[in-house]
Amino acid sequence: MKKTLISLCALALGGMSLSACGGSEAADDGKITMGFAQVGAESGWRTANTTSIQDSAKEAGIDLKFSDAQQKQENQIKSIRSYIQQKVDVIAFSPVVETGWDAVLQEAKRAKIPVVLTDRAVDTEDTSLYVTFIGSDFVEEGEKAGQWLVDNAEASDVDKDGAINVVELQGTTGSAPAIDRKKGFEDVISSDSTIKITSSQTGDFTRDGGKQVMEAFLQSDPKIDVVYAHNDDMGLGAIEAIKAAGKKPGTDIKIITVDAVKDGMTALAAGEINFIVECSPLLGPQLMDVAEKVVAGEEVPERIVTEETTFTPEQAAEALPDRKY
Ligand code: AHR
């Protein structure tokens, strides 16, 4: 473990951004210790994200203490407290929900341990509680999904009666991607009065959750034209429910998802999903790079946005052979 003597400049310099300061003393054993509190293993995306973090830590020679919160905020808080007690050099985590982090982040700050957010943001007025946030722009992802629907609504003949009924499978309630992907999508589809979200419910980012919610939607609403799923796994669950109801996914009901993991891309290439907005889980290398800089007292940007694209069925077929996750 490095003997980190980072003086949280926000404390010393009265509100100055933590990312612009920091500084640590010479290493005890030269190795950085990172405590990482993961959300869980709810989706293909999350599994790929965990692998990326573990592999990158190994490659960078960072000693990684890893915990899986099983999608429960109280478990993440417990892990963070334990990392504080163990005096790790840096804490990183992907917050399961946006709110409720101030108390534990204050504890990390008092212990002079820098915190890096990855993948998901926290909702706090005190941005000195973390150094930087590495991850996607979820609002933009929702906008891209909405834009595809607006652009393709007519061409795809989504509904014969001129109304396009969308059901939404939301991610974990209160999580940044669920809030932002909903907002981005709604903002864009509001420009087209024929498109309406008729039902919206959480499937908790899991395949099983997506399947169960879709089964209930199909039973209560015979006129579903489009499924907007906040991730591939819920979209894949919805496909199972649609098939079981005797309909053809991608044809009778259009499907838009977010992530672009292998299973999602395979369904897209097969025409069972119509459009995927990419969300990259490969955040490990950037995280290790930032951790090294922060522990060395170097400046890092306050926000690092992941670069992403979108996929049509043709593009998915082309990309699949090289897809790593
Ligand atoms: O926070 C990223 C989201 O969390 C991914 O889109 C989803 O698959 C995961 O569970």
Tens digit of each residue's pLDDT, the chain (325 residues): 654 434 333 333 333 333 433 444 434 678 999 999 999 999 999 999 999 999 999 999 999 999 999 999 999 999 999 999 999 999 999 999 999 999 999 999 999 999 999 999 999 999 999 999 999 999 999 999 999 999 998 655 555 567 899 999 999 999 999 999 999 999 999 999 999 999 999 999 999 999 999 999 999 988 899 999 999 999 999 999 999 999 999 999 999 999 999 999 999 999 999 999 999 999 999 999 999 999 999 999 999 999 999 999 999 999 999 998 9
pTM for the whole structure:
0.91
**What's the pLDDT at 154?**
66
Ligand 1-lining residues (CB < 6 angstroms): 42-43, 45-46, 119-120, 177, 205, 231, 233, 258-259, 279
Q: How far is the CA of 249 from the centre of ligand 1 (A)?
A: 22
Q: Which fold has domain 2-135+281-306?
A: Rossmann fold (3.40.50)
Q: How far is the CA of 177 from the centre of ligand 1 (A)?
A: 7
Domains 2-135+281-306 and 138-279 equal at CATH topology level: yes
Q: Are 197 and 224 in contact (CB under 8 A)?
A: no
Q: Are 25 and 4 in contact (CB under 8 A)?
A: yes
Q: Which fold has domain 138-279?
A: Rossmann fold (3.40.50)
What gap in Å lies between CA 136 and CA 49, rounded to an integer?
Answer: 13
Is the dihedral angle over the CA atoms 230, 231, 237, 239 positive or is it negative?
A: positive
User: How many CB atoms lie under 10 A from the CB of residue 244?
Assistant: 12
Q: Identity (one letter) of the amino acid at 258?
A: V
Q: How far is the CA of 166 from the centre of ligand 1 (A)?
A: 21
Atom of ligand 1 nearest to the CA of 230: 6
Q: Where are the domains of the chain?
A: 2-135+281-306, 138-279
Atom of ligand 1 nearest to the CA of 232: 8
- Which of 167, 146, 158 has its CA nearest to residue 277? 146
**What's the pLDDT at 2?**
58
Q: Are 222 and 126 in contact (CB under 8 A)?
A: no
**What's the pLDDT at 27?**
45
**What's the pLDDT at 160?**
58
**What's the pLDDT at 297?**
95
Mutate which of 43, 93, 258 for ligand 1 pocket (most atoms within 8 A of beta carbon)? 43
- Which of 210, 212, 208 has its CA nearest to residue 231? 210
Q: How far is the CA of 222 from the centre of ligand 1 (A)?
A: 29
Q: How far is the CA of 76 from the centre of ligand 1 (A)?
A: 16
Atom of ligand 1 nearest to the CA of 258: 6
**What's the pLDDT at 221?**
87
Q: How far is the CA of 282 from the centre of ligand 1 (A)?
A: 12
